Amino acid sequence: MRIPLELVDLTLRHYIHSQSPSTVLVIRSLIPVLLSCSVLHSLALNLVLAHIHFDHRPADMNKLWSCLKDSQFNCIKCLSIPSWAISTEYELVRLTSLNSIIINCDDETINTLSRSLSASSLSICFLELPIQSLTLIRAPLIGIPLLQAIVAAFPRLTDLTIDVVRSRLSRVFNQADRDYAFCSCIGCVEEELECMFHSPVPFFYSSIDVMTKAFAIALKPLHQLHRLRLGILLSD
């Protein structure tokens, strides 16, 4: 008795969604399936590649890119990467079917954000890709330069989410499980506190209405945008 491929597909989807978000770990756990037969190999690999998630290990990204065939780059529909990868991962331009991208800005500060997520660096990687959904998580702040860079690099956006509500102090003082180090000098700690409690009102805008109008003008060129979520921490 042959098991219908639809049932196998549902089973694999359920298994993949219940695993670690790390793409590399999921692939390792699926090795028995990938080696069983060509049909299951193709089915499982396409499901895994549909949503790629990378954390802070450049070696994992390099391993995956080197293993993919040219046609398999088209299987990637959603990508989750740290912000530093934008300037180092030149394979990103090959993701011609990429529809959604999540950028983790956890390593960024108020001073580095404008360089890492500039219009030029974003456009080089993403301008020609059919990306409709963009999510920035743990961004240090939301400002006009960032919004303008997004408009320039992602002209087809229908869904935009930027989250700035975060606390990064814990990773400064708890590095036992990290393979990289963070500076815990008083200057860096002060900047982390600014990121935690940063409020664009009244520091940059006199009122919420003024801020809203400025953001609306900056995002006006995104004619297809119909869903916007900004996680802004407002002061009293």
Q: Which residues of 33-46 are buried (b: 16+ CB within 10 A; e: fewer)?
A: bbeeeeebeebbbe
pLDDT in tens, the chain (236 residues): 566 666 666 666 666 666 655 655 566 666 666 666 666 666 777 777 778 887 666 666 777 777 777 777 888 889 988 888 887 767 888 888 999 999 998 878 777 888 888 888 899 889 999 999 999 998 888 889 999 999 999 999 999 999 886 544 444 433 333 333 445 566 665 655 555 545 566 567 888 888 899 999 999 999 999 999 988 766 55
Name which of 157, 146, 97, 98 is nearest 122 in CA terms.
146
What does the alpha-carbon distance between residue 117 and residue 2 come to, in Å, rounded to a whole number? 50
From the CA atom positions of the chain, what is the Rg in Å?
20
Q: Which residues of 108-125 are buried (b: 16+ CB within 10 A; e: fewer)?
A: bbeeebeebbbbebbebb
- The helix or strand, by DSSP H or E, that contains position 197, with its residue range, turns out to be helix 186-197
Name which of 155, 141, 132, 133 is nearest 198 in CA terms.
141
> How many angstroms from the chain centroid is the CA of residue 192?
21
pLDDT, position 58 = 66
What does the alpha-carbon distance between residue 55 and residue 5 come to, in Å, rounded to a whole number? 32
